[in-house]
Chain A
Amino acid sequence: MTGHEALDSLDKSFKGKIQSKTEFRAETTYAIAASDLREIAKFCRDELSFNYLIDITSIDNFGEEPRFEIVYELYSMPLGVHLRLSLKVPEESGAVDTVSEIWPTANWHEREIYDMMGIKFNGHTDLRRILMWEGYPYFPLRKDFPLEGLPSEMPDVAFTKVTPLEGGPFVTVPSTATSKEREPRGRPPQL
């Protein structure tokens, strides 16, 4: 089986379930529905030899509907082919089925997405925060979370404070304005 044959077979088997197929620099991205994820993921691993889940990423398309997007980056060791599965997650449900039994490496990837973006994974065996501490009240990689952070307090565990941004982080708009005005990401979002 070559890479092309594998992808053709995916096209045929899930004809009605593939929303779109885009190809860019010989890497193929399939947009699918969140409800079909586990079925397609199993097929990709068992039938098409996509035995390596490189990464799972989440995107916050703040202001759009559905708000979140999750991208599964697959690789086939035998074929040497990349495959990307992307799916949208609306804010109300905020949950996707886990793929951690299909690719065990997904366990920590999904925990990180939960920690940073607040998307839950149905059926995950151990959905705890992985970078921040248990009890931290925010999801810091969401677009409506300000860059300077928000104050929080967990007695005896950790606290956070608002970071002063005078002088700004490192992306500024060149002008003679004050550094606070020059720093576009430093301003709290206008909600």
Chain B
Amino acid sequence: METRVTRSTAYDSKIEGNVIFTRFDAALNWIRKNSLWPMPMGLACCAIELMAAAASRFDIARFGAEVMRFSPRQCDVMIVAGTVTYKMALAVKRIYEQMPEPKWVIAMGACASTGGMYRSYAVLQGIDQLLPVDVYISGCPPRPEALLAGLMKLQDKISRERSLAAQKPMLTEKLEEALA
């Protein structure tokens, strides 16, 4: 009988086909965009549609965004769903500030985007006066499909980001120095 000798080699046929070459940004963005954990900032009726989007018929889990976190420390995207009153405005801002970077904001519905029908002394005329909004969703309230479309737009936006250069400039500088 012959004895098989296994030798460690540089080339391992077992992993062939499981290795992908890609840009670091592309891999990072792909990971990020498919596991967006939302902060459900439900302030009015838009929150009902947000809940519907999370439930089985619309199933936001198909886009990796089903993990609604009620702690801002664990969130990636704040979905501002509803009317932001001045009384609530600074609380929303504070919660946004507690979210770790990188973070994104979706303004869901007319009220969160512009104040909507509330042209009033009591209502902030769009959350973009306080937070940097990435995606605006029209509708009063928007259908769950519209929220999903907005989420997909945000995913597109994330996949185009220059993550490493924008968020870790120290690291890229060091790399460039080493290469030079």
| Contact stretch, chosen from B25-33, B57-65, B116-124, B154-162 | B116-124
Which interface residue of B86, B117, B121 has the most chain A CB atoms within 10 A? B121
Q: Which A residues contact B (CB, under 8 angstroms)? A: 131-133, 138, 140, 145, 147-150, 156-161, 163-165, 168-170
The 8 closest A-B pairs by CB, nearest first: A149-B121, A169-B119, A158-B86, A160-B86, A163-B119, A140-B121, A158-B87, A133-B87
**A169-B119, A170-B117 known; A132 vs B87 contact (CB < 8 Å):** yes
Q: Bound state CA distance, A108 and B120, in angstroms?
A: 23
Q: Which residues of A contact B90 (CB under 8 A)?
A: 156-159
Contact A159 B86 (CB under 8 A): yes
Q: List 8 additional A-B contacts (Cβ < 8 Å) besides A161-B124, A170-B117.
A: A131-B122, A140-B122, A147-B120, A149-B121, A157-B90, A158-B87, A161-B129, A163-B121
Q: Which residues of A contact B115 (CB under 8 A)?
A: 163
B89 interface contact, C-beta 8 A: yes
Which interface residue of A157, A163, A164 has the most chain B CB atoms within 10 A? A163
Q: Which residues of B contact A140 (CB under 8 A)?
A: 121-122
CB interface residues, B 71-96, toward A, < 8 Å: 86-87, 89-90
Q: Which residues of A contact B113 (CB under 8 A)?
A: none
Could you pull out 8 A-B pairs where Cβ atoms are within 8 angstroms?
A145-B121, A149-B121, A160-B121, A160-B122, A161-B124, A163-B121, A163-B125, A170-B117
Least Cβ–Cβ distance between B87 and chain A, in angstroms: 5
Q: Bound state CA distance, A148 and B124, in angstroms?
A: 12
Least Cβ–Cβ distance between B117 and chain A, in angstroms: 7
Contact A148 B121 (CB under 8 A): yes
Q: Which residues of B contact A168 (CB under 8 A)?
A: 119
Q: Which residues of A contact B123 (CB under 8 A)?
A: 163
Q: Bound state CA distance, A168 and B117, in angstroms?
A: 10
The answer, among A147, A149, A158, A165, for a CB contact under 8 Å with B89, is A158
Q: Bound state CA distance, A68 and B87, in angstroms?
A: 27
**Contact flags B103-147 to A (C-beta < 8 A → 1, else 0):** 000000000000101011111110001000000000000000000
Q: Which residues of B contact A132 (CB under 8 A)?
A: 87, 122
Least Cβ–Cβ distance between B85 and chain A, in angstroms: 9
Contact A163 B120 (CB under 8 A): yes
Least Cβ–Cβ distance between B84 and chain A, in angstroms: 11
Q: Bound state CA distance, A163 and B123, in angstroms?
A: 8
Contact B119 A165 (CB under 8 A): yes
Contact B121 A150 (CB under 8 A): yes
Smallest Cβ-Cβ distance to B130: which chain A residue = A159
Q: Which residues of A contact B125 (CB under 8 A)?
A: 161, 163-164
Q: Bound state CA distance, A109 and B125, in angstroms?
A: 28
Q: Bound state CA distance, A145 and B121, in angstroms?
A: 10
Q: Bound state CA distance, A131 and B87, in angstroms?
A: 9
